[in-house]
Structure 1
Amino acid sequence: MRAIILAAGLGLRLQQPPQQQFPKCLLRFNGITLLERHLHALKAAGVTDIVLALGFQPEQIEAELATLGWQPKPEIVLNPRYDLGSVLTVHTVADALTRGGDVLLMDADVLYDEAILRKLVADDSADRLLIDRDFEAGDEPVKLCVKDGVPVELRKQLAVGLQYDTIGESVGFFRFREETALRLAQIVAGYVDSGRANMPHEEAVRDLLLEGGHTFDVADVTGLPWIEIDFPNDVARAADEVLPRLPVTTGAAR
């Protein structure tokens, strides 16, 4: 199993002064970066084949890896046009998507309980999404809608009249079987070739869900602490509400 961590963006919505901007995966909580927490969580889950998709200030992330002395060292792939959408970042790691085995596709800017990752990697090979049914309504969360156990929508904006029996927020972590990861790479390439490289990668995942031919299961992580960090108030919530609920061992071992 291989993990691809998307960490290329500028994080403009954090509203940092230009001279103070840095990749969001280097945000520290209790002195530990999100990147280090990802690495420890993946190692605990038995995943050591890790690819980092970088763009903005990659040298800072490489310096953090050097400080950690992490082994085996994650593979680094650079997206020079990181100012465009995350679809292009996924396209830059197409080789990692298609070289075989199950693939985890993960946003880097998430503080989370390791139990969430365990739900993603549990059992045999699978196409899997994560859903949190306890979420704040609004335009920002990427909603995952399920009907009769089948995902029927993955989007921030839902169409009027959409039929579903379960709705929640997508955690932003996905697991794909080898053949499904290959198909996702093809869909992403189509986005880039048709001039839609500025789109979020969730749109390509949505296309994968809705085209059929793939059986996705949905793991429920409701009640487990996590937060995606996009805005300044998310940093405060991460420190005040999520961090105190995480096991003390998360990211603690050096």
Structure 2
Amino acid sequence: MRAIILAAGLGLRLQQQPGKQFPKCLLRFDGVTLLERHLRMLDAAGVTEVVLALGFEPEQVQAELARLNRSAEIVINPRYDLGSVLTVHTAADAMTRGGDVLLMDADVLYDERIMSKLVAGETVNRLLIDRDFEAGDEPVKLCLKDGVPVELRKQLMADLSYDTIGESVGFFRFKQDCAQRLAEIVKGYVDGGRANMPHEEAVRDLLLERSHTFDTADVTGAPWIEIDFPGDVARAAEEVLPQLQPVGIAQ
């Protein structure tokens, strides 16, 4: 199993001051960077092959790896100012070289139980859903009908029919053939002049093809937060961090 961590973006919504910006995976909570937490969680889950898809200030991330005495495969998206679909395309080789693939946003602070549900069992395509989420345009909603994904978007069509809705955690698991198909869809986005799109749109296309079966793991009740805005940093430190189980994290 291989983990591809998407950590290319500038994070403009979070970091407003020029000259003081840094990759969001280097945000620290209780003295530990998000990157270190990812790596330790993956270690605890038995995932040792890690690919970091970087863009903005990759040297800062490489310096953190050196500080941690860790190694990881690194790919660079030089046009990190465009959409994350281009970052996934930059990691196409890692998507398609075989085995299950975990595709993970770097800017998430999360509990070990979320990782456990992502990696549990034999080879599988898996989505994560949190049914306890705040309404609004920001969360990426995952909608199911009879257990089958019918939508993955921030904004839903008014006539969409579903029986389950929740927020999609920014982590996906794909079997080898499914990862290969996603890489093809992503390439189509880039070749078609849509490199500025979020990668969730390509995942949505994959889901709606219905060519692959997905299971959905419910992580409702497990604390996590995606960090996009200054207020998210405060919430992460004050609300999420105190709830986290220490599994896999050096104390």
Q: TM-score, normalised by structure 2?
A: 0.99
* Residue in 2 that maps onto 1:191: 189
Letter in 2 for 1:16: Q
* Residue in 2 that maps onto 1:110: 108
**1:9-30 deviation per Cα after TM superposition (whole angstroms, max 9, x unaligned):** 0000013301100000000000
* Residue in 2 that maps onto 1:200: 198
* Residue in 1 that maps onto 2:131: 133
Unaligned runs of 5+ in 2: none
Question: Measured at CA, do residues 148 and 249 of structure 1 come closer, stay the same or move farther in structure 2, by a change above 3 Å?
Answer: closer
* Residue in 2 that maps onto 1:233: 231
1:85 aligns with 2:83: yes
Taking the aligned partners of 1:47 and 1:16, their CA distance within structure 2 comes to 35
Taking the aligned partners of 2:48 and 2:240, their CA distance within structure 1 comes to 26
Aligned residues of 2:112 and 2:247 also touching (Cα < 8 A) = no
| Secondary structure in structure 1 of the residue aligned to 2:13 | helix
Letter in 2 for 1:236: A
**1:148-202 deviation per Cα after TM superposition (whole angstroms, max 9, x unaligned):** 0111100001011100000000001000000000000000000000000000000
Taking the aligned partners of 1:32 and 1:16, their CA distance within structure 2 comes to 22
Taking the aligned partners of 2:16 and 2:23, their CA distance within structure 1 comes to 11
Equivalent pairs, count: 251
1:179 aligns with 2:149: no
Taking the aligned partners of 1:90 and 1:150, their CA distance within structure 2 comes to 24
* Residue in 2 that maps onto 1:47: 47
Taking the aligned partners of 1:16 and 1:139, their CA distance within structure 2 comes to 22
Taking the aligned partners of 1:97 and 1:52, their CA distance within structure 2 comes to 12
* Residue in 2 that maps onto 1:33: 33
List aligned pairs for 1:116-155, cutoff 5 A. 116-155=114-153
* Residue in 2 that maps onto 1:60: 60
Letter in 2 for 1:144: L
Taking the aligned partners of 1:183 and 1:146, their CA distance within structure 2 comes to 21
Residue 249 (structure 1) shift: 4.2
List aligned pairs for 1:209-220, cutoff 5 A. 209-220=207-218
2:158 to 141, 157, 160: 160
Taking the aligned partners of 1:113 and 1:216, their CA distance within structure 2 comes to 22
Percent of matched pairs sharing the same residue: 78
Taking the aligned partners of 2:157 and 2:124, their CA distance within structure 1 comes to 28
RMSD, aligned α-carbons:
0.7
Runs of 4+ in 1 over 3 A off after TM superposition: none
Q: TM-score, normalised by structure 1?
A: 0.98
Residue 236 (structure 1) shift: 0.1
Residue 252 (structure 1) shift: 1.6
Unaligned runs of 5+ in 1: none
Residue 213 (structure 1) shift: 1.2
